[in-house]
Structure 1
Amino acid sequence: MKQVVQSYKTGEVALRDVPVPQCGTKRILVRNQHSLISLGTERSTIELGRKSLLGKAAARPDLVRRAWDKAKKEGLLKTWQEAMGRLDTPTPLGYSGAGVVEQCGLAATEFSPGDRVACVGQGFASHADFVAIPVNLACKIPKEVSSEEAAFGMLGIIALHGIRSANLTFGSRIVVMGLGLLGLLTIQMLRAYGCEVIAIDPAQDKADLARRLGFAHITTDSAELDTLCNHVTGGVGADAVIITASTKDRGPVDQAVQLSRPKGRIVVVGVADIHPDRNELWQKEVDLVVSKAAGPGSVDPVYEIEGVDLPIGEVRWTQKRNLQEFLRLVADKKVDVQSLITHRFDIAQAESVYTQFVAGELVQPIGVLLTYPDQALIERHLPITSVLANKKSPSASVSVGVIGAGLFGKALLLPALQSQTDVALHTLVTGSGASVEHSARKFGFANQATESSAVWQNPEIDAVVGLTPHSNHAKLVSQAIEHGKALFLEKPLCTTEDELAQLREQAAAAEALPIIFVGHNRRYSPHTVQMLKWLATRQAPLVLQMRINTGFVPASHWVHSEDEGRSRVVGEMSHFIDLIQCLARASIVRVAAERISGDNSSTVNNDNIALSFKLDDGSVGSMIYSASGDKAYSREMTEMFFDGKTIVSRDFRVSELHKGGKTETFKTSSQEMGYAQELKAFVDCVRGRTVADVSTTEMFSTMDVIFAIEYALATGQSVSPSATRVMSA
């Protein structure tokens, strides 16, 4: 299919051939008929993308500060790689369209194939032949409304939420500043709800269009706006001023204060410099509000992605209910959308359209629509033809398919995989067509796909690398066992005890198990290798202490979601359990753990724990895992005491052996976490050069320890990992 994407790194806008996205359980697959170019939003996105690195830094100094703190802790090279990975992520353009449902997810029961639907949402309702839309970002189109009109949905509900933010009543007198698409929709809705409108735009053509729509109090002159407002309101002032313009000037906000009545309200829907004079605001007690997107639920992943609606008794006008109301207004002829359409282009013309748009060569654009042919095929496997593919050769004897390519994978693991001389990159699979096409070209894959069967069912592929969200990990392990393909899986192995039990059963029933690596990369770090050399002659049990300053992650983040990440204990701590067992060359047989009793919001209780453990060789240890510290401070430290010696390792940059009053030091120029070494070990195992360091049974046992920690936290008692299987049965 065709899709319009922008490179945030270069600002280039391109029309790409990408695979059709998967539908998803709580989504619908929609064949686009029309999508609307949002002139203001998309122009600002493109202009930011075209800035130099210094320009981008100047525009987002907050991100620069965070990157600098990260560099001090984890090294400049790693931080630079991650930052470049973020910049190199393609941005799908568009967030408003309409079309026909082709497929429905199993939980998307309010829709059926063939339904006409309006679609909204950044990253969802894109300029593409097909889009996968979460159920709360789509609604059926009334029969009186065309798909062209419904394609204005996102702009309509942004305008509608701006009106709601003004807290108006019938007969209110409102000033609207800016008569672009948002402004023209806003004034029509205000009239539909019984409000008197005064409006301004410096462009004569837009003012004339507003007059043709039946509005009398329209001007292009800011001085005349004062006179109009004074006349219409009887000298009292406007009940509200809604700013739909996009400007870097503070003039609109300053004038809005002057135009407002005492205790009036200013709502910024567009973009303006918000630095009003405090005394002016104080004199009138004017409220100043910035309207957020399209209503409650906007940019909330629980609402938008997981499809959890907000109760109507608590929240009357959500994003979706605003969309339904906008379509009702169009159906009832209260809002005229057809008069706002100034340009129509076929999707095949998209690149030239954007070139004209950015250059200012489109003549008086307001409503610019892209139209789509109805013969596009649903294709989810496509070759990469624009790059020289990484072909399999005798020296590159392992053909690899990769499932998933998030920021972490693109910044660290995929470059490390690409650098392996024994690997041919066969197929990359992600859920997003734009993302998979870009990453497949960048890293030299021969093929791109949006469904995992392209990897599992292809006999040419020897091994699979899984970089998906945590909730999908158990499925990947199950498929690896079922298809007999080697699997490298980012941690954790699974997220629930039920999944672990099912994997154990499947592994026990299998005639032979494939090679399975879980991404516990720390055991492959040069620092771990050095520490194991220092530990090689150990005679007595270890006393081991580990501290992880992991950094705060909000309670709303997906890693804490029961359906997605479950917790950071499950999602992240297996890294450290594996490292402890690797260093001690022993297994943890008992754990005790306590968490803080905080507010579970500003400090997430389960992210701040003290853990003690006993190993089967007699060693003991403790772990402090905290998300309450300074992110710029050292992240990880390990200390081991044994045989009159001490080993200290800090952040996989400096490791020391203290012995007999002398210190032996091992340093690396930057953080060495073992990513490349782990992938090499995996490839060597697939080629038959070596055997895996960790057996499948040991991987299962590591997850037993993780679930034992959860039980210990819940009960306040010491727990044996083997006992958790009995408790969960």
Structure 2
Amino acid sequence: MLQAIIKKGKVLAEEVPSPILSKGEVLIEVSYSCISAGTELKSVGNSGENLLMRAMKQPDNLKKVIDLAKAQGIAKAFSKVQQKVKYGTPTGYSNAGVVIAVGDGVTNFQVGDKVAAAGAGIANHAEYVVVPQNLVIEVPKGLDLKLASTVTLGGIAMQGVRRADLRMGEYGVVVGAGILGLLTLQFLKNSGVRTIVSDIDENRLKIAQELGADMVVNPAKDDLVKAVTNFTGGNGTDAVIFTAATPSSEPLSDAFKTCKKKGRVILVGVSGMEIKREDIYQKELDFKISTSYGPGRYDRKYEDLGHDYPYAYVRWTENRNMAEYLRQLGEGKVKLDLLINKVFPIDQAEEAYGSLQGPDKPIIVLLSYSPKEDKGAFARVTVNPEFSSRKGVLNVALVGAGSFATAMHLPNMERMKDKYALYAVVNRTGHKGKSVATHFGAKYATSNIYDVLTDDEVDLVFITTQHKDHAALVLKSLQAGKHVFVEKPLATNQEDLDKIVTFYNDGSNSKKPFLLTGFNRRFSKHAQEINEHTKNRINPLYVSYRINAGFKAASDAIHEHGGRVVGEVCHFIDLISFLTNAPLVSISVDKINPTNDQVRKDDNIAIVLKYQDGSVGNLQYFSVGNKNYQKENLEVHYDGKTIIMDDFKKLTGYGLKVKELTSKVSEKGQYEELLYMHEAITNGNWAITLEDMAQTTRATFMIQNN
């Protein structure tokens, strides 16, 4: 499918795999999408700047890069930034089209429904999009999808009007006569508000007059404050809705000055934020922010998981705001005839964005899409037709092109070109999959897992998706005869784990593919060195393992599908089990009792593991510690000897001499585990036994359910 991509100061239509539908989502064949002249043009401009300028403008992103460099090294951090710059980012957040499929749990929509959709990074400029159900709105009968594609902008403008809370007969000033300002004007007029519009563009002021503005003011020619004061009989306006985008603080200062005592200013757009106390203090003004489309925005439970707010308590959610906008459009109470200037087909995306930067800037530009006969023919895109399989080298299909896989596993594979070759990339969003496939030289990218499962050239399926999908993908891949590497955890529930174990223990004599779960710590140089000393011990081990895991908010997705115990603690149980080399016979668990909801019980736990040989593992996993303290500390005590491992950076022995291992970054065995995986597939020796992987996974279920 074609999708608009921002890349190096331009917007280009690129062929990418179509997205894959998941639970709670709606698959839409897009008919029209609306370009946001403000937000998107800013992103286009930023993409054309050098890295230094971008870093200065985006300090939060710079901090992320610095943190990545500290954790994984400068080279990997720089490589990740280069990928982002080179391959660009998808754009768009407002479109309309026809439903062609719905995911499990979706009951409000069915195939054939005409809908509009919202969401940055979701409702993209693309021929097909997958959108969570709470960000999809049914289009009223008779409403042109061309008009409905502006739904997101309508929702933003409507939320600003709701925040202003203006009543019939009151005065309202709209600063900025772009799309948001002109929609705001119409909402205010529909509510009986006497409305003044301010802008420095005379053409847009003329449109505002035609749409019913009671007065228009060009602040470049006339004094806005005086004009508003005169129009309101010397009292000032009840509220200002600021929809302009400017780095200057002066327009905002003027907005305050136009207000009556106890008035209010609502910031919908962008402004310089040097607020003068004298502008707001004497009149006791309220300054409010309007957050995007309304309640539910930036709430993951609402947007991604489909949890609605009770109608009686939250009358206007973002979905209900956008539905009301479409209703008013359908009834002709909001008019876009004067606002939609141009429509370009998606393959002319560059020209469409270019038109917004010319001297006669249009207010609304749309992209159009032609319906396709075959809705399922766009999952796969070939990026390297010259790819050639090599003898002795494993062809890898990466499933899930997330940040860890692209920053850690794939660079490690590149260092082992004699052992691994990235052959295919499977990802639910097409652009990311294609970018990764191109960067690392894969033959193709796809969003359909069956493309790789039925491809005889694929030797190893490398699964790095969300935890909840691991077990199902493992089983499908094994049943297809593919060797499998899966990042931890192997499964998130006992039923799924049992299915994988049953696959191997079905009584058949057929040769089964190999499986490795990414319990990488046991393969690290530090763990291997410790094991060299402890494997010949006389008495059992006493192991103390402390993990300063770092705080995660209660709403973070990391707590779902088994949480941090199933998803992270498995690492540490596996390492202790590796060192004891004995079956686990009992588990004791205790958790803290927090006094409020800021801290969770299940990521502040003390675990005692007892092994058949008498060894004891004492594991302390907590999130209440300070982030500047080291993350992991392992102490192994036995036979009058002690070995200390500090955060996989340093190894120290007491009562014995250990190999000197020091490094600036933690070396946790991700590179070495790939060596062991290759050895297992090549020579038939499992890197970790199935029983060990199952034992560790079962242990996490017991701890989580304790």
Give the structure-1-normalised TM-score: 0.92
Q: Which residue of 1 aligns with 2:254?
A: 255
Summarize the Cα distance change of 1:249–1:599 in structure 2 as closer, same or farther, 3 Å threshold: farther
CA distance in 1, matches of 2:17, 2:623: 39
Alpha-carbon offset, residue 67 of structure 1: 4.8
Q: Which residue of 1 aligns with 2:677?
A: 682
CA distance in 1, matches of 2:690, 2:392: 29
CA distance in 1, matches of 2:595, 2:18: 44
Alpha-carbon offset, residue 177 of structure 1: 0.4
1:404 aligns with 2:400: yes
Q: Which residue of 2 aligns with 1:428?
A: 425
1:309 aligns with 2:311: no
Matches within 5 A, 1:216-365: 216-221=214-219, 223-357=222-356, 360-361=357-358, 363-365=360-362
- Equivalent residue for 2:173, pick from 169, 172, 175: 175
CA distance in 2, matches of 1:530, 1:81: 31
Matches within 5 A, 1:511-526: 511=508, 512=510, 513-526=512-525
1:3 aligns with 2:6: no
- Equivalent residue for 1:705, pick from 695, 699, 704: 699
Alpha-carbon offset, residue 28 of structure 1: 1.9
- Equivalent residue for 2:90, pick from 92, 95, 103: 92
- Equivalent residue for 1:143, pick from 141, 144, 154: 141
Q: Which residue of 2 aligns with 1:185?
A: 183
Matches within 5 A, 1:352-391: 352-357=351-356, 360-361=357-358, 363-375=360-372, 377-378=374-375, 379-385=377-383, 387=384, 389-391=386-388
Number of equivalenced pairs: 701
1:463 aligns with 2:457: no
CA distance in 2, matches of 1:331, 1:403: 43
SS at match of 2:315: coil
Q: Which residue of 2 aligns with 1:552?
A: 551
Q: Which residue of 1 aligns with 2:570?
A: 574
- Equivalent residue for 2:493, pick from 480, 493, 496: 496
Is residue 481–residue 507 contact of structure 1 (8 Å, CA) maintained in 2? no
SS at match of 1:611: strand
CA distance in 2, matches of 1:280, 1:355: 39
Unaligned 5+ residue runs, structure 1?
715-729
CA distance in 2, matches of 1:405, 1:351: 27
CA distance in 2, matches of 1:325, 1:623: 54
Give the counterpart letter for 2:485 in structure 1: F
Give the counterpart letter for 2:691 in structure 1: T
SS at match of 2:12: strand
1:479 aligns with 2:476: yes
Is residue 77–residue 670 contact of structure 1 (8 Å, CA) maintained in 2? no
CA distance in 1, matches of 2:12, 2:661: 48
Summarize the Cα distance change of 1:376–1:195 in structure 2 as closer, same or farther, 3 Å threshold: farther
Is residue 71–residue 665 contact of structure 2 (8 Å, CA) maintained in 1? no
CA distance in 2, matches of 1:82, 1:602: 33
CA distance in 2, matches of 1:664, 1:656: 8
SS at match of 1:157: helix
Give the counterpart letter for 2:677 in structure 1: F
CA deviations 1:302-337 (Å, max 9, x no partner) are 211222211111211111111110011111211101
Matches within 5 A, 1:19-58: 19-58=17-56
CA distance in 1, matches of 2:349, 2:412: 35
Is residue 658–residue 664 contact of structure 1 (8 Å, CA) maintained in 2? no
CA distance in 2, matches of 1:696, 1:380: 37
CA deviations 1:320-357 (Å, max 9, x no partner) are 11111001111121110121011111111112333454
Q: Which residue of 1 aligns with 2:438?
A: 441
Is residue 391–residue 425 contact of structure 1 (8 Å, CA) maintained in 2? no
CA deviations 1:173-194 (Å, max 9, x no partner) are 1111000111011101110111
CA distance in 2, matches of 1:610, 1:271: 48
Alpha-carbon offset, residue 635 of structure 1: 1.0
Give the counterpart letter for 1:24 in structure 2: S
Unaligned 5+ residue runs, structure 2?
none
Alpha-carbon offset, residue 590 of structure 1: 1.6
Give the counterpart letter for 1:710 in structure 2: Q
CA deviations 1:598-648 (Å, max 9, x no partner) are 256422221111222212211113121111222232111101111221111
SS at match of 1:16: strand
Summarize the Cα distance change of 1:703–1:583 in structure 2 as closer, same or farther, 3 Å threshold: same
**Larger deviation: 60-69 or 241-250?**
60-69
Give the counterpart letter for 2:196 in structure 1: I
Alpha-carbon offset, residue 52 of structure 1: 2.4
SS at match of 2:282: helix
Alpha-carbon offset, residue 100 of structure 1: 1.4
Alpha-carbon offset, residue 137 of structure 1: 1.1
CA distance in 2, matches of 1:640, 1:77: 33
Is residue 194–residue 214 contact of structure 2 (8 Å, CA) maintained in 1? no
Pairwise CA RMSD of aligned residues?
Answer: 2.1
**Larger deviation: 602-611 or 428-437?**
602-611
CA distance in 1, matches of 2:601, 2:68: 24
CA distance in 1, matches of 2:61, 2:80: 12
Q: Which residue of 1 aligns with 2:617?
A: 621
Alpha-carbon offset, residue 281 of structure 1: 2.0
Is residue 550–residue 626 contact of structure 2 (8 Å, CA) maintained in 1? yes
CA distance in 2, matches of 1:483, 1:420: 26
CA distance in 2, matches of 1:376, 1:50: 37
Is residue 380–residue 447 contact of structure 2 (8 Å, CA) maintained in 1? no
Matches within 5 A, 1:44-123: 44-65=42-63, 67-68=65-66, 71-72=69-70, 75-77=73-75, 79-80=77-78, 90-123=88-121
Is residue 613–residue 622 contact of structure 1 (8 Å, CA) maintained in 2? yes
1:392 aligns with 2:389: yes
Give the counterpart letter for 2:366 in structure 1: L
Give the structure-2-normalised TM-score: 0.95
Alpha-carbon offset, residue 56 of structure 1: 2.4
Alpha-carbon offset, residue 157 of structure 1: 0.4
Summarize the Cα distance change of 1:291–1:376 in structure 2 as closer, same or farther, 3 Å threshold: farther
CA distance in 2, matches of 1:192, 1:140: 22
Give the counterpart letter for 1:569 in structure 2: V
Is residue 166–residue 267 contact of structure 1 (8 Å, CA) maintained in 2? yes
SS at match of 1:598: coil
CA distance in 2, matches of 1:514, 1:461: 13
